[in-house]
Amino acid sequence: METLSRRGPLVVVEAALGGLAVLSLLLALFWVLGGNGLGFAYGDRTPHSFLATQAVPTVDVRVLGAIGLSTAVAAEQAMDIEDGPNGTMGADGSAYADVIGNSAQVSFWAPTFLQRWAWVASHAAPAAGLALIWLLLARIVRSVRRGEGFGRSTTRHMLIVAALVGVGVPLVQVSQWLVARWLLSTSTAAGLAEVPPVRIAVWPVAVAVVLVVLAVAWQEAGRMRRELEGLV
């Protein structure tokens, strides 16, 4: 086994990546330990609580029908608006603003055991996936320190990261959306609100394509390097 290079920057990078992997894993663990998992910590009801201390699963929804529009209608009625020679504006001369939308948040206070853990799993998965990505990157740096940067394992690790990003991110988005719909459909809010359509981001696929291209180029570079081994 070749000895590890002790060059400063690579050691620091590998250590930093390892630290990030541990932090991400802890973040995933917090979802399991938090209010919706094993219940060791409770927090507020907002859907985007830090460290997953949500008291209960909470999702963004669109309230249907006249109920959904009622806030916007009431807000419009509350604003003192008038049409004048300079267009629509407030009676006090302030700039016209329009209240639109029927967004709201719904908290589910009695999810079933399966629903609760489906919620935890779909929200812990991103952090767990990120931990794996940091770990794979740390392994790549370690291979470089070992003088095996162009080895086959590096290409394999890059392809795994590409898959985690390109497939994993959209998969998580869809799973979180499906779990939210499941929670809503079995609650008292069913029929009154809907979960907005899932929006699959394009950037993970683009990043994955970039990584695959780099992995292929890396693999070819490794092959060329192996051909030059033993050249004096």
Interacting residue ranges for other proteins, rule: CB under 8 A: 228-232
Q: Return the number of the residue (202 or 231) whose C-beta is nearest other proteins.
A: 231
Residue 172's nearest CA partner among 128, 111, 106, 117 is 128
Q: String of b and e for 184-197 (b: at least 16 CB within 10 Å)?
A: beebebeebbbbee
> Nearest approach, Cβ of 230 to other proteins (angstroms)?
3
Both structure tokens of 221: 């570079």
CA 158 vs CA 59, 135, 205: distances in Å: 34, 11, 14
Minimum gap (Å) between residue 146 Cβ and other proteins: 17
104: left (phi over 0), alpha (psi -120 to 50) or beta: beta
- CB closer to other proteins, 95 vs 228: 228
| Nearest distance, CB of residue 153 and other proteins, angstroms | 22
Asked if 212 and 159 touch (Cβ cutoff 8 Å), the reply is yes
User: Nearest approach, Cβ of 147 to other proteins (angstroms)?
Assistant: 13
Least distance from other proteins to the Cβ atom of residue 231, Å: 4
* 83 vs 229, beta carbon nearer other proteins: 229
Question: What is the distance between the alpha carbons of residues 20 and 134, in angstroms, rounded to a whole number?
Answer: 6
Query: For other proteins, which is the closer residue by CB, 66 or 231?
Result: 231
Measured from the CB atom, is 7 or 226 closer to other proteins?
226
* Cβ-count burial 48-59 (b if 16+ within 10 Å, e if not): ebeebbbbbbbb
The least distance separating other proteins from the CB of residue 229, rounded to whole angstroms, comes to 7
Nearer to other proteins, 2 or 83 (CB): 2
36's tokens = 């919706």
- SS3 for 63? strand
